[in-house]
Structure 1
Amino acid sequence: MDYVNLGRSGLLVSPLCLGTMNFGPRTTEEDSFAIMDRAHELGLNFFDSANVYGGQKGEGITEQIVGRWFAQGGGRREKTVLATKVYGDMGDWPNERGLSALNIRRACDASLKRLQTDYIDIYQAHHVHRTTPFEEFWEAMEVLRQQGKILYVGSSNFAGWHLAKAQESAARRNFLGLVSEQTHYNLLTRAPELEVLPAAEDYGLGVIPWSPLAGGLLGGVLRKLDKGRSGAEHMLKQLERHRDKIEQYEKFCDELGEEAADVALAWLLKQRAVVSPIIGPRTMQQLEGSLRALEIDLDEAALARLDEIFPGHRTAPEDYAW
């Protein structure tokens, strides 16, 4: 496994990140434990979670599962670069969501308890909180870092100008600032190329793409449907919108002799500032299959063909101006 720096930080993470969103709602605790153990065996050291994952408001079911896995010992916590998130609704009272100093403090302590650890490697803002100034956000994060409860700060779902504003605010406080941005990015969703990726690259943030397979559309969906597999209604609606592109894509993957899901991940690893796409396996087979992406080296001709099928963006403002 070739580990990579998370942005400009000295932290080394695996080039694929194990997303835990399915642990609890779709994957049993026993199977979740097995998947995490196997991830370590395969060399994956980067795990991502969030306080809202698990399907039951305020319970943090997924973090609880990860915490019970850590509690087994055997170096599980020490081998893991642990990322989790704060922002979403964890209760019905007004200060049980967002990025206020109060919620950040309470949410961090609650996540630590569920995760059965005394520190979080990367504490991520799950979304921009438009009514909380970055000065308050950074003061709260500084306190957590001074207390040893977090080591690094990351963001998720930030626009390019949010990244710039956050980093400039941190710089005024002589604080390290963000080291990562978790963004919705894949062959079908390429808007981050306009400003998020250039901003992340300029400020030294590692980009962690979520939904790298576009909700399954880039995972060989047509072949699966031909074999009689069913698909979620929302995915089928999206498929009808993009059927022509998906047909071309799966045909091209067949020409390459590779699985569609693996090509989608391999493509992301070729993009600027991208460090570690998030895989969210529901099964052991899905986890082990993802590793093939690390062996695929897409050449310039293949990358050009993928751009023909899924046109992207150059950057802003060149994409819409001279």
Structure 2
Amino acid sequence: MEYTHLGRSGLSVSRLCLGTMNFGMEATEPDSFAIMDAAHDAGINFFDTANRYGGKTGPGGTETIVGNWFAQGGARREKTVLATKLYGGMPLNGRDDWPNTGKLSALNIRRALDASLTRLQTDYIDLYQFHHVDRDTPWDEIWQAMETAVAQGKILYAGSSNFAGWHLATAQEHARRRGFTGLVSEQSIYNLLVRDVELEVLPAAQANGIGVIPWSPLQGGLLGGVLGKERSGSRRTSGRAKESLDAHRDAIQQYEDLAAELGAEPGDVALAWLLHQPAVTAPIIGPRTGEQLAAGLRALDLTLDDDTLARLDAIFPGHKTAPEDYAW
């Protein structure tokens, strides 16, 4: 397993991040335990979750599963760089619309953090992330709450998710004024089909020493060999997924043909492409089974030469940095 620093921090994380959103939704607790054990065996030390994840078990269920896995011992917690998130409203007496149970007020940061620590059965979180930008709470309030959490030893680093480039710049400027580290990471949707972050998010992240953690690297399976699976009858698409597939069918066919030419699985090519992007720290893989975890690991051994990278750019055109992308 290769490791890299998370942004400008001294924290070393694996080049793949284990996403846990399927734990409690598509994967049972025993299956989730097996996936996490296999991830550690493969050298993955970076796990990502969120307080809202839970699926069938309800919000908080995924953190509870991860916490139960930590409780088994064997230095599981010590070997894991643990990331979780807050923002969305959490149930309070059966309601998740009660005031101050969501977003990034100092009150909710305190409550949400303590609740996550309890579910995760740990006394600290390595990377505490804002799941979305809160336009109603001033940054001085947010950073004061995070500074307090750091001073209490409850978190070590702060990160963001789904931020625009100017949100990253604004957050960092307010942190600098306070003498605080600020953000060390940003989670954004980024894959061959969805490359909007190349306009401003990636440049802002690189300029501010923020590591990028892409989510949905296979774009809901569209980059995972969907046409081949469709022909074999092993996958059928419907709704928005079908609309997206139909809109990009020609490009996806070219992409799957290129993967076949390389002798690689399409999903491996998509992950490998992300690993070749200089701003990317670690794509998030969210396996439902051990087999899917093993498939994700194959991308670490796939090197794409300049010609292949250029062919992928031709199939799925990206963006130049703004404003050059749309102006002189």
TM (norm. structure 2) is 0.97
**Which residue matches 2:196?**
191
Structure 1: 5+ residue stretches without partners: none
Instruction: Tell me the CA shift for residue 285 of structure 1.
Output: 0.3
Between the aligned partners of 2:233 and 2:154, the Cα distance in structure 1 is 48
**Which residue matches 2:93?**
none
Q: Note the alpha carbon deviations across 1:265-303, whole angstroms, 9 max, x for none.
A: 000011121000000000100001111111111111000
Counterpart pick for 1:265 among 250, 263, 271: 271
1:125 aligns with 2:127: no
What number of residue pairs does the alignment pair up? 322
Contact 2:226–2:235 (8 Å) recurs in 1:
no
Q: Note the alpha carbon deviations across 1:60-88, whole angstroms, 9 max, x for none.
A: 00000000000000000000000000001
Between the aligned partners of 2:279 and 2:254, the Cα distance in structure 1 is 27
Counterpart pick for 1:138 among 120, 132, 143: 143
**Which residue matches 1:301?**
307
**Which residue matches 2:230?**
225
Cα RMSD over matched residues?
Answer: 1.0
Instruction: Tell me the CA shift for residue 226 of structure 1.
Output: 1.1
3-state secondary structure, aligned to 1:189: coil
Between the aligned partners of 1:264 and 1:310, the Cα distance in structure 2 is 11
Instruction: Tell me the CA shift for residue 232 of structure 1.
Output: 4.4
Residues 1:231 and 1:136: Cα distance change in structure 2 (over 3 Å): farther
Instruction: Please show how residues 8-157 of structure 1 align to structure 2 within 5 Å.
Output: 8-55=8-55, 59-90=59-90, 91-157=96-162
> Counterpart of 1:266 in structure 2: which amino acid?
A
Query: Is 230-239 or 303-312 further displaced after alignment?
Result: 230-239
Q: Note the alpha carbon deviations across 1:207-247, whole angstroms, 9 max, x for none.
A: 00000000100000011111112334232221111111111
1:254 aligns with 2:260: yes
Counterpart pick for 1:289 among 269, 279, 295: 295
Between the aligned partners of 1:165 and 1:299, the Cα distance in structure 2 is 37
Residues 1:59 and 1:310: Cα distance change in structure 2 (over 3 Å): closer
Structure 2: 5+ residue stretches without partners: 91-95
Q: Note the alpha carbon deviations across 1:191-214, whole angstroms, 9 max, x for none.
A: 000000000001001100000000
Between the aligned partners of 1:83 and 1:170, the Cα distance in structure 2 is 20
> Counterpart of 2:4 in structure 1: which amino acid?
V
Between the aligned partners of 1:149 and 1:182, the Cα distance in structure 2 is 21
Identity %: 69
Q: Note the alpha carbon deviations across 1:107-156, whole angstroms, 9 max, x for none.
A: 00000000000000000000001101111110110010000000000000
Instruction: Tell me the CA shift for residue 92 of structure 1.
Output: 2.2
Between the aligned partners of 1:172 and 1:232, the Cα distance in structure 2 is 49
> Counterpart of 2:196 in structure 1: which amino acid?
A
1:278 aligns with 2:304: no
Between the aligned partners of 2:168 and 2:57, the Cα distance in structure 1 is 29
TM (norm. structure 1) is 0.98
Counterpart pick for 1:172 among 168, 174, 177: 177
Counterpart pick for 2:165 among 157, 160, 163: 160
Between the aligned partners of 1:232 and 1:181, the Cα distance in structure 2 is 30
Query: Is 36-45 or 220-229 further displaced after alignment?
Result: 220-229
> Counterpart of 1:270 in structure 2: which amino acid?
H
Instruction: Tell me the CA shift for residue 55 of structure 1.
Output: 2.2
Between the aligned partners of 1:146 and 1:57, the Cα distance in structure 2 is 33
Q: Note the alpha carbon deviations across 1:149-168, whole angstroms, 9 max, x for none.
A: 00000000000000000000
Instruction: Tell me the CA shift for residue 57 of structure 1.
Output: 8.7
Between the aligned partners of 2:73 and 2:18, the Cα distance in structure 1 is 19
Contact 1:58–1:89 (8 Å) recurs in 2:
no
